[in-house]
Amino acid sequence: MGELKNCPSCGNLYVEHLRPVCDTCFKEEEQMFEKVFQYMRKRENRQATLFDVRQHTGVDEEKITKFIRQGRIRVVGFPNFYYPCETCEGPTQDGRLCSSCKKKIMGDLKTDEFEAKKKLVDLGRSYYTD
């Protein structure tokens, strides 16, 4: 059974079961999604930017970005459509992170992996020399 909570969007009480918002807010969000989806699926809007979509649909950029990050809207084939990276707020067209942040994370992972291997080698040496 669900838990009684206040909707984070409107503050009304609702039973949290399948969704993190009340039914009213869920329906409003679905209407926003439909506006954005219908606008972006038209061939003449393939050159649209995030600003253009917001301006023509009335849906704020955070909601549009949320739909993209949820995988409900794809921006492949929209050469001018960029949205903010979750880490640095820089422009990206793919995933949650821009290419700079992805490279930094991959570099950090490689450094961590190298350090871990070095520790294992040092542990092995100390085991045999003790």
SS3 state at 92: strand
Rounded CA separation 50/42 (Å): 15
Residue 92: other Cβ atoms inside 10 A: 22
Q: Which residue has the tokens 């917001």?
A: 54
Q: What is the pTM of this model?
A: 0.75
The pLDDT tens digits of the residues spanning 17-43 come to: 888 999 999 999 999 999 999 999 999
The pLDDT tens digits of the residues spanning 110-125 come to: 888 878 877 777 766 6
Residue 98: other Cβ atoms inside 10 A: 22
pLDDT of residue 115: 83
Rounded CA separation 75/93 (Å): 7
pLDDT of residue 130: 55
Arithmetic mean of pLDDT over the chain: 90
Question: Taking 70 as the threshold, does the pLDDT of residue 14 lie above it?
Answer: yes
The pLDDT tens digits of the residues spanning 36-84 come to: 999 999 999 999 999 999 999 999 999 999 999 999 999 988 999 999 9
